[in-house]
Amino acid sequence: MTVNTNTIAITRHVYGKTVTYRVGVDGALSRPEAAALLRVSLRQIYRLVKTARLPIVHERGDVHIPISALLEYQARGSGTSRRTREHRSTMRAHGEATSRMSDDED
């Protein structure tokens, strides 16, 4: 998917054919399309909707997620889980301590 300021290009593979179409930023995407845009699993999309971190819109009997909400979520950098961020900061701190110890040994 390509993100533009006014539209988003959506590519779907349907019945062996590839179809590309553009959707305005004021539109909404299905859950699998939202997962592809955010580069997360479909399960993660369900979790974000359940915890009200992503709003939903009912269109023609189906659930869609507004593109503007997806772009805001992406801009916040909320794709990284808290556990991953904590692990990264621990690894950085540990890496710094290790490099200091090797400098002291010289």
Neighbouring residues of 57: CB distance < 8 A, sequence distance ≥ 6: 28, 63, 64, 65, 66
What pLDDT is stored for residue 60 in this prediction?
Answer: 85
Q: Is residue 65 within 8 Å of residue 56, measured between CB atoms?
A: yes
Residue 47's CB is within 10 A of a number of other CB atoms, namely 13
pTM of the model: 0.63
The pLDDT-based confidence of 46 (bands split at 50, 70, 90) is very high
- Whether residue 106 is predicted with pLDDT greater than 90 in this model: the reply is no
- Whether residue 64 is predicted with pLDDT greater than 50 in this model: the reply is yes
- Structural domain spans, the chain: 2-79
Tokens of 69: 């909400």
The pLDDT-based confidence of 9 (bands split at 50, 70, 90) is confident
